[in-house]
Structure 1
Amino acid sequence: MLSRTADHLYWMARYIERAENMARVLDVTYRMSLVANSAYDETARWKPPVQIADDIEAFEKNYSGYTAANVIHFMALDERNPSSIVSALGAARENARAVRVAMSSEMWETVNALWLELRQRIRQGLNEADICEFCDWVKSRSHLFRGVTFGTMLRDDSYKFVRLGSFVERADNTARLLDAKYQLLLPVVEAQEAQVDYYEWSSLLRSVSAFEAYQKVFRDTIEPWKVAELLVLRDDMPRSLHACYDELAPILEQLCRQRGQECLRLAGENHARLHYGRMADIFTVGLHEFLQDFILRNNVLGAEIQRAFLNGPE
């Protein structure tokens, strides 16, 4: 398989996953902003999405403050921001167009229709009141793309690179979201804020489609350390770090039979840390420190995949 083709497929999947995750972050941030809590001002509420995307410098260069309107525009519609939803979906469409023959016609039609509908929505305008509906639309179209991919694509190397891109990106975004929100939503001790704290943690769980899963697994009130366990170590939670590596490690085993052995080693090391890890040990080190280390390791793996199989740095 040509590295150029693999590169386009891999990044097409990463960009669609990135757009979905940005939509999830914006959605949960907006919903949390509707909950009255004197502990957080507007900057404290709206800065985390920019931190998650690692775009603080670019945001502060172009915007005067962390207001809802500024962050929503920056994260959703600003084409100067490579992590914005419009930029990610535009890049996904360009990558898909370059390798139309390597995917099913239904996949291309799904990606192209997504882009055309997005342009129409942009022309109509997006205000703060519409953000939840817009984010739901982005998530549903991402789900549609994955369903079409699963249902129509031949299980060859092309399919493997699409899946690989999705899970590398998802692991990165789950770690960033949990890290940013966990620091913001440290357990409150004031009784009058306990109810607010519950709604904010439930919003975080809903942002990764994990609220019902939490209820089934723990059958208890929402506790921060259990949220962390669900999103880090539970292999039956689809967006957890462990679940992502359960998927991508076997893919790399199949792709690395002749080259890319360092990719396989890095993925195996990360997978083992999640498979055999314990939350008690993670909290001893510090959840923030653990997640920052994971993000770094995941980025190193992504860079090695790029070097070994694709067209160099993206």
Structure 2
Amino acid sequence: MLSRTADSLYWLGRYIERAGNNARGLQVALRMASLMRGVEQRSNAWRALLIASGCEPGFRAKALEPTPEAIVRYLAADLENPSSILSCIEAARRNARAVRTALTVDMWEAVNETWSEARRTTTATFAPDNLPAFLDWVKSRTVLFNGAYADTMLRDEAWRFVRLGTMLERADNTARVLDVHHHAIADTEGDGAVAYVQWQAILRSVSALRAYHWVYHARLEPRRIAELLILRPELPRSMIACYARIEETLEGLAVSHGGRRGECHRLAGEMHARLRFGRIADIMAGGLHDFLTATIDRNVELGRQIQDFYLQA
């Protein structure tokens, strides 16, 4: 496969996943802001969303007033923000169009129809009364695309590059969501009501609130939340589940390329092994924030190594 084709498929997967992650994050921030009592606490909920999405530097560079309305606009609709929902949909469609013949009909229709509908959004779409419906729509469209490529693509190189982009983006998002709320996991003596809202926010950001209760059959506990999102392979958005799929996908690519491997294969295997043999007690004792920050940095490096090994023209 040509590297430019692989690159478009890889980034198609990443941009679709990022749009869905941003929609979930905005839904959670809206919920947190409505439940938090103080103005400062509500402001912190929106700032946490900016940090988790990796968009805080860009937002600050535009010198915008950090109001909820400005943050919603920046994360949902600002085309100058490459990670906004509308920018991700635009970029996903551009990449899909470049590799149209590598996609199934269902995949192309999912992307193209999403793009067509997104172009019809107006300022009113992002008004407080209309925003929840828009975010639900974005989530449903990303689920539709993920289902389309999971159910209709041949398990060949094209499928592997879409899956690789999806899983790398998902792993990064889970680590960032947990890291931005690490203080709520570590602080056992804070405001109980506020902490409980933050614990729910962490789980809702990765669609895992019901999964938590199914796995643990217990009230929310911070250590178990961290364990679920980091070490439980049955949760599809957990870090260990994502890195297992990344390692598996890279191994499939290596086999299809005659066994040729590079630093990205070693790094993916190392990150997966670190989680496979990790224990939540050791992670917490060593510092959850340090662990997550190191994981985010290594995830960026893994993406760079994948780019160098497979995607450079």
Fold in common (TM above 0.5): yes
Asked if 1:66 corresponds to 2:78, the answer is no
Distance 1:268 1:42 in 2: 40
Q: Give the match for residue 225 of structure 2.
A: 227
Q: Give the match for residue 127 of structure 1.
A: 127
Amino acid at match of 1:146: N
Amino acid at match of 1:9: L
Percent of counterpart pairs with the same letter? 45
Distance 2:275 2:303 in 1: 17
Q: Give the match for residue 251 of structure 1.
A: 249
Amino acid at match of 2:181: K
Checking the alignment, whether the CA contact within 8 Å between 2:32 and 2:42 is kept in structure 1 is no
3-state SS, counterpart of residue 291 of structure 1: helix
Asked if 1:118 corresponds to 2:101, the answer is no
Q: Give the match for residue 197 of structure 1.
A: 195
Distance 1:141 1:248 in 2: 23
> TM-score under structure 1 normalisation?
0.93
Q: Give the match for residue 92 of structure 1.
A: 92
Distance 2:28 2:54 in 1: 18
Amino acid at match of 2:232: R
Amino acid at match of 1:236: E
Q: Give the match for residue 216 of structure 1.
A: 214
- Classify 1:86/1:39 alpha carbon distance in 2 versus 1 (closer, same or farther; 3 Å): closer
Distance 2:61 2:300 in 1: 25
Q: How do residues 177-196 of structure 1 correspond to structure 2 at under 5 angstroms?
A: 177-183=177-183, 187=187, 189=189, 193-196=191-194
Q: How do residues 115-194 of structure 1 correspond to structure 2 at under 5 angstroms?
A: 115-122=115-122, 124-183=124-183, 187=187, 189=189, 193-194=191-192
Gaps of 5+ in 2: none
User: Could you report, residue by residue, the CA deviation over 1:185-244 in whole angstroms, capped at 9, with x for unpaired residues?
Assistant: 754646xx4344323322331221111111111111101111111000111111000010
CA-atom RMSD in angstroms:
1.8
Q: Give the match for residue 21 of structure 2.
A: 21
Give the total of aligned pairs: 310
- Classify 1:256/1:122 alpha carbon distance in 2 versus 1 (closer, same or farther; 3 Å): farther
Compare 112-121 and 254-263 and name the one that shifted more: 254-263
User: Could you report, residue by residue, the CA deviation over 1:67-109 in whole angstroms, capped at 9, with x for unpaired residues?
Assistant: 1101100100001111111111110000000000011122111
Structure 1 runs of 4+ off > 6 angstroms? none
- Classify 1:63/1:132 alpha carbon distance in 2 versus 1 (closer, same or farther; 3 Å): farther
Checking the alignment, whether the CA contact within 8 Å between 1:42 and 1:66 is kept in structure 2 is no
Q: Give the match for residue 273 of structure 2.
A: 272
Checking the alignment, whether the CA contact within 8 Å between 2:181 and 2:198 is kept in structure 1 is no
Q: Give the match for residue 292 of structure 1.
A: 293
Q: CA deviation at 1:127?
A: 1.1
Compare 97-106 and 34-43 and name the one that shifted more: 34-43
Checking the alignment, whether the CA contact within 8 Å between 1:260 and 1:309 is kept in structure 2 is no
